[in-house]
Chain A
Amino acid sequence: SAVISQKPSRDICQRGTSLTIQCQVDSQVTMMFWYRQQPGQSLTLIATANQGSEATYESGFVIDKFPISRPNLTFSTLTVSNMSPEDSSIYLCSVARGVGADTQYFGPGTRLTVL
């Protein structure tokens, strides 16, 4: 498995502001992903964070709203930009160790509330 930490664990933000969420893994991993879990809902993949290149976004998610960085094999950030109350969710990062890696492991999540 992998030990994954996220910062902040929770935050309350004002409409129109931006928040950057950090995901740190205790060892190098090939794949990192960002998911959103809206209140009472399941998880939806936002994007795959690619090391050294632009993230790959899923349908319905765009870079201007959710810019992602991945400067190395153990760290990634997700920014939620120009927030609205609809962005209130839990944001989770997950990782998979390498090519042929067989499991995604999830971080503890960041609970975001937008007022």
Chain B
Amino acid sequence: SQQGEEDPQALSIQEGENATMNCSYKTSINNLQWYRQNSGRGLVHLILIRSNEREKHSGRLRVTLDTSKKSSSLLITASRAADTASYFCATPLPGGSEKLVFGKGTKLTVNP
């Protein structure tokens, strides 16, 4: 079953522009995580935001969480060609489950 779903499925921008990706989920969560996956490689954890947090920053990354709308967004500012990757949101299953469920991801292409 899919808990989180990213939007858009694909995004193409020019270097220097900002990129925004969204994630919607279905049930209550205690945290939401964002991961990046470069082509042909494993996933890398970017940021974790807890349900009592509304916004979190890490370098050029800004993540927001709106629990009333069951949605999160990942903003990458001043994008670089190296940001080209797929970005996934992941949420634990409801009921205190420790199982992390990933969405299908947003494929971001940053053109030089």
A and B form one complex: no
